[in-house]
Amino acid sequence: MNAEKVNSKDSGDGNQTIERTEIKDSPFNVITVDGESFGVMGDYRLTEKAGNKKDVIKQLEKITWNRVIQVVMLLDEMKSKLKNKKEEI
């Protein structure tokens, strides 16, 4: 679990603590900001915000066709971005 402090325009004092929790044996992480958690894969958000981290972990550990399609689409997008960067160089 990692916690990092970032500046945000939305927070009153300009600082927020962001907690990143890795889900073992998966490409997913849970991000918690101000008591709300959501699931991500890399820079991409996969779940809606939830009140606690355990609910998000349960959602991400459950393998559904929807989750499989999300992951395949994200991998395709990441591949396209890499290809475009190579073409620019």
Does the pLDDT of residue 11 top 80, yes or no? no
* Distance separating alpha carbons of residues 24 and 4, to the nearest angstrom: 20
> Between 75 and 2, whose confidence is greater?
75
Q: In the predicted model, what is the mean pLDDT of residues 66-75?
A: 95
Please give the residue range of the domain that contains residue 56.
Answer: 2-88
Q: In the predicted model, what is the mean pLDDT of residues 3-17?
A: 54
Does the pLDDT of residue 49 top 80, yes or no? yes
Does the pLDDT of residue 3 top 60, yes or no? no
Domains held by the chain: number: 1
pTM: 0.75
> Between 5 and 31, whose confidence is greater?
31
Q: What pLDDT does residue 24 have?
A: 94
Q: In the predicted model, what is the mean pLDDT of residues 36-59?
A: 95
